């Protein structure tokens, strides 16, 4: 496993007396696209603000390439490119001049580099127009260009597909995958839309009410490793349960006849064999092709904003 | 530094900034035209070699006029007083010229203060308004440096306006009234008495002193902008205080502590040309110390607010 590009260590944020983020612990590796998923008000933006030092960290730390954003802000932030919430620009400056502003704030961003980034996000035509006249999608692209200028090793995008048309979303998705795979950039993408994030992420962290409630590897169609929901009709239930409690802790009984568990496809034959060896009769096996979306809703339940 | 360059680009990319320069130019030209066509003729009068006799005759005539008419006596008295000053000190009166126009226009520095306040008030809060502050603060540059670059930009802007005012007043003055040499002497009415100084020194002094108010009010607006992140509030408060400052001081001058009020100290001119300080017991050193303390407080508060506080929400 590659070394973590970013590490969150027991990250907490309290505003007033209200705990907003309640201790996040996870890491993002170089070259992966990490989806940061959560309903409205879950604390995604707040977490991202802490990652980039816009707000103080109440407790814990964020380490970027091993450097603490708290104690070594410059050392840490130089590896980061980000859009926080909406991509805001100086409306009275052209796209190009907006980018020049940020180019001047770091060493070694040449005009060639700016052009390169502009063509990457496909803004060549409009780059000399005033940013105030840009559509939301164009601003989003300019925002991404701005974040990429200095060739960061970590890219943080808060709802990057917000306001993009389907083809725009597809392009950005392709581009993000490219960055991760070819340039080994760690990309963090926040969203409350699972369908969107599922298609571009390697892993998804689900956050709700300031707590990380799951981290999932994203399965792809050909991914045999992915977990599946398996229902097995058994008898007698008691014996089956005892066996499962000791060997498959994540399985549960459903009703009086069925067991349910998430396992990998390749594990199913072995489980069935083991059950039969225990003298348990099997009347049926159902494999549910549960989508991540079901999972997501299972995990977060109703979105009750605290 | 590149950050300052960035700020200047942002500043001059906005129409409002150019409007400020244009307004200043219009006022300079307009003021010149008004002085030229509606000014008192005695100011423009050129005197010959026998200027002493001419002045005496003029005084006699004005005195006679005053006895005939009930009104307008005040103007006449002033002219007589000035003429007498020339006679007593043996100074030949010079016609009004471009230099004097520049000197007179030093009152326009309050317009510059106004513009500078507007810019200082906006330079931080606008970044919040546009949301660009988030992009500004996630660069490998400390917040202190960003704050400083903005402050320095405000000062550079004020200085640019000042130079612009000087140049345009001088040009307008030179075209409309001509120039009495390179550095002529001028007589100024100090209310209680007259003084006679070389004009460049006087220009430097009156513009120089006005810079004190300008810098203090700009710093004040800058601080409010950093603390409240709202330009309206910063502009409103700073302009209100600038306008009401002297009234406040006058109102409170009966109290001993009123001499510690900022506005009692911003006008350093009160210690020159033999004028009385606003509140007895004040001295130049005292005022400078008070000003420095205020300045330090303003900057400290702006710095604390800008570097320590969370940047969250819209
Ligand atoms: N300055 C603040 N003061 C008090 N509460 C705040 C503040 N900022 C954020 N919150 C609260 O923190 C919680 C998380 O907000 P955050 O913006 O991080 O959510 P989010 O996950 O980005 O949501 P969305 O999907 O809507 O963008 C919300 O409940 C919000 O009310
Ligand atoms: Mg958000």
A220-249 pLDDT, tens per residue? 544 555 667 788 888 888 888 777 777 777
- The mean pLDDT of B209-216, rounded to a whole number, is 87
Distance CA B296, CA B273 (A): 29
Pairing type for strands A227-235 and A281-288 reads antiparallel
Tens digit of each residue's pLDDT (9 = 90 or more) over A155-191: 999 988 877 788 888 888 888 888 888 888 999 999 8
**Among the partner residues A54, A86, A101, nearest to B137 by beta-carbon distance:** A54
Confidence at residue A94, expressed as pLDDT on a 0 to 100 scale? 93
Shortest-distance Cα residue to atom 10 of ligand 1: A20
- The mean pLDDT of A254-271, rounded to a whole number, is 80
Confidence at residue A226, expressed as pLDDT on a 0 to 100 scale? 61
CB-ligand 1 contact for B313 (6 Å cutoff) = yes
Phi-psi region of B229 (alpha: psi -120 to 50; beta: other; left: phi over 0): left
Confidence at residue B239, expressed as pLDDT on a 0 to 100 scale? 84
Identify each DSSP E strand in A78-235 by its residue range: 80-83, 154-158, 186-191, 203-208, 211-217, 227-235
Residue B312: closest CA among chain A residues belongs to which residue?
A: A55
pLDDT beyond 80 at B191: no
Distance CA B276, CA A218 (A): 81
Using a CB-CB cut-off of 8 Å, the residues of chain A touching B132 are: 88-90
Identify each DSSP E strand in A115-158 by its residue range: 154-158
CB-ligand 1 contact for A94 (6 Å cutoff) = no
Question: Residue A58, SS3?
Answer: coil
Distances (CA, A) of A150 to A53, A106, B73: 18, 7, 74
The model's pTM: 0.81
Domain A4-219 is found in CATH 3.40.50.300: yes
- For chain A, the structural domain boundaries read 4-219, 225-289
Low-confidence winner among A109-123, A138-152, A274-288, B55-69 (lowest mean pLDDT): B55-69
Does a cis peptide bond (omega within 30 degrees of 0) precede residue A236? yes
Pairing type for strands A4-15 and A80-83 reads unpaired
CB-ligand 1 contact for A13 (6 Å cutoff) = no
Distance CA B268, CA B13 (A): 35
Of the two residues B269 and A6, the one the predictor is more confident about is A6
Confidence at residue A306, expressed as pLDDT on a 0 to 100 scale? 46
> Torsions phi, psi of A212, nearest 5?
-80, 120
Number of the ligand 1 atom closest to the C-alpha atom of A306 = 29
A21, A46 contact by CB (below 8 A): yes
pLDDT beyond 60 at A302: no
Q: Closest approach of chain B CAs to the CA of A298, in angstroms? A: 30
Q: Which residues contact A224 (CB under 8 A, 6 or more apart)?
A: A264, A265, A266
Identify the band that residue B236 occupies on the pLDDT scale cut at 50, 70 and 90: confident
pLDDT beyond 90 at B35: no
CB-ligand 1 contact for A15 (6 Å cutoff) = yes
Q: Return the CATH class of domain A225-289.
A: alpha beta
Tens digit of each residue's pLDDT (9 = 90 or more) over A38-81: 888 889 999 999 999 999 999 999 999 989 998 999 999 999 99
Residues 140-159 of B with CB under 8 A from A: 140-142
User: Hey, do A4-219 and A225-289 end up sharing a CATH topology, with the first three levels equal?
Assistant: no
Helix, strand, coil fractions of chain B, as percent rounded to 5: 75, 5, 20
Confidence at residue A146, expressed as pLDDT on a 0 to 100 scale? 92
Identify the band that residue B37 occupies on the pLDDT scale cut at 50, 70 and 90: confident
Q: Write down the mean pLDDT value for chain B.
A: 82
Put simply, whether A85 touches B (Cβ < 8 Å) is yes
């Amino acid at each position: 496993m590659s070394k973590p590009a970013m590490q969150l260590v027991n990250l907490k944020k309290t505003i007033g007396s209200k705990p907003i983020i309640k201790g996040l612990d996870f890491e993002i590796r170089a070259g992966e696209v990490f989806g940061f998923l959560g309903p409205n008000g879950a604390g995604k933006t707040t977490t991202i603000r802490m990652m980039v030092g816009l707000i103080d960290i109440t407790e814990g730390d964020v380490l970027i390439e091993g450097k603490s954003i708290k104690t070594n802000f410059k050392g840490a932030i130089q590896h980061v490119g980000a859009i926080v919430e909406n991509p805001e620009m100086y409306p009275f400056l052209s796209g190009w001049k907006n980018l020049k502003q940020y180019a001047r704030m770091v060493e070694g961003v040449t005009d060639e580099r700016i052009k390169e980034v502009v063509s990457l996000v496909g803004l060549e035509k409009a780059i000399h127009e005033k940013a105030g006249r840009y559509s939301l999608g164009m601003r989003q692209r300019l925002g991404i260009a701005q974040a990429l200028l200095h060739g960061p090793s970590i890219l943080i995008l808060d709802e990057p597909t917000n306001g993009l048309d389907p083809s725009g979303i597809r392009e950005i998705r392709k581009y993000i995958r490219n960055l991760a795979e070819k340039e080994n950039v760690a990309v963090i993408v926040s969203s409350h839309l699972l369908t969107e994030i599922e298609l571009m992420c390697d892993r998804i962290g689900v956050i709700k009410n300031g707590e990380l409630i799951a981290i999932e590897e994203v399965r792809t169609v050909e991914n045999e490793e992915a977990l599946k929901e398996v229902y097995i009709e058994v008898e007698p239930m008691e014996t089956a349960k005892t066996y499962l409690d000791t060997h498959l802790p994540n399985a549960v009984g459903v009703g009086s006849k069925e067991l349910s568990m998430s396992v990998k496809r390749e594990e199913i034959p072995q489980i069935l064999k083991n059950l039969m060896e225990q003298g348990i009769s099997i009347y049926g096996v159902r494999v549910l092709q549960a989508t991540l979306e079901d999972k997501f809703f299972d995990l977060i339940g109703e979105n009750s904003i605290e | 530094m590149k950050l300052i360059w960035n700020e200047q680009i942002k500043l001059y990319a906005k129409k409002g900034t150019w409007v400020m320069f244009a307004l200043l130019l219009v006022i300079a030209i307009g003021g010149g035209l008004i002085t030229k066509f509606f000014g008192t003729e005695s100011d423009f009068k050129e005197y010959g070699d026998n200027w002493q006799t001419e002045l005496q005759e003029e005084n006699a005539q004005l005195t006679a006029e005053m006895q005939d008419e009930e009104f307008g006596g005040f103007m006449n008295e002033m002219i007589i007083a000035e003429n007498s000053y020339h006679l007593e000190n043996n100074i030949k009166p010079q016609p009004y010229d471009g230099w004097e126009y520049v000197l007179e226009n030093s009152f326009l520095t309050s317009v510059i203060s106004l513009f500078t306040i507007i810019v200082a008030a906006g330079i931080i809060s606008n970044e919040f308004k546009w949301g660009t502050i988030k992009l500004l603060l996630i660069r490998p540059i400390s917040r202190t440096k960003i704050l400083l670059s903005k402050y320095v930009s405000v000062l550079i802007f004020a200085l640019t306006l000042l130079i612009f005012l000087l140049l345009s007043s001088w040009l307008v003055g030179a075209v409309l009234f001509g120039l009495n040499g390179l550095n002529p002497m001028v007589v100024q009415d100090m209310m209680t008495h007259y003084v006679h100084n070389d004009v460049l020194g006087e220009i430097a002094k009156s513009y120089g002193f006005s810079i004190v108010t300008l810098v203090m009010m700009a710093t004040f607006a800058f601080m409010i902008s950093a603390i409240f992140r709202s330009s309206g509030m910063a502009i409103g408060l700073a302009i209100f205080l600038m306008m009401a400052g002297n009234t406040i001081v006058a109102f409170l001058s009966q109290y001993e502590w009123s001499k510690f009020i900022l506005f009692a100290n911003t006008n350093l001119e009160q210690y020159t040309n033999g004028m009385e300080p606003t509140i007895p017991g004040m001295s130049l050193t005292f005022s400078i110390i008070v000003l420095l303390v205020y300045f330090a407080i303003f900057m400290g508060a702006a710095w604390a607010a800008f570097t320590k506080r969370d940047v969250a929400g819209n």
